[in-house]
């Protein structure tokens, strides 16, 4: 099975995007890079919108977005109907966002000093499965909020 991921970043997260993209490739994923590869200023809402639109065309397992903190780009992504973008701060949160929230995007900050490697957080997300059940009911409720 060809596992595909879309990844995108602004100028504040070039290095972390490269780390994550290389790690995904090492794990056998095909990575579509819609981000920038230099530090010339770009607007993270535009980057988020482009990556989410690509993801929603189908064929991707999940997406990753990166900006200086991960906050702005995740907020932007969560404005797109059908997107659930989480900003994990550690391995536990990355695992839970897949198991409980069925997130389809992760966000990371290129200027954040994480206590655990971002690759470990990514692995926790990839290696977890959505649990469904009561969590499915909650995800459905969550997604209905965006339609208000």
Tell me which residues are annotated as active site.
67, 100
Task: Give me the torsion for CA of 64, 51, 62, 146, rounded to 10°.
Answer: 100
Report helix, strand or coil for 95: helix
Helix (H) or strand (E) holding 31: strand 30-33
29-to-25, 97, 103, 124 alpha-carbon distances in Å: 5, 20, 18, 15
Chain-centroid distance of CA 42 in Å reads: 18
């Amino acid at each position: 099975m060809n596992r595909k991921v879309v990844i995108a970043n602004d100028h504040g997260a070039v290095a972390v995007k490269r780390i994550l993209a290389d790690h995904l490739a090492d794990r056998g994923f095909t990575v579509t890079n819609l981000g920038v590869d230099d530090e010339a200023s770009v607007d993270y809402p535009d980057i988020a919108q482009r990556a989410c639109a690509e993801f929603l065309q189908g064929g991707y397992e999940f997406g990753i977005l990166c900006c200086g903190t991960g906050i702005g780009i995740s907020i932007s992504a969560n404005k797109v109907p059908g997107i659930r973008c989480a900003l994990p701060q550690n391995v536990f949160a990355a695992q839970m966002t897949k198991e409980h929230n069925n997130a389809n995007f992760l966000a990371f900050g290129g200027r954040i000093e994480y206590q655990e490697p971002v690759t470990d957080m990514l692995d926790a997300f990839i290696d977890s499965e959505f649990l469904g059940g009561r969590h499915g009911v909650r995800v459905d409720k969550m997604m209905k909020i965006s339609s208000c």
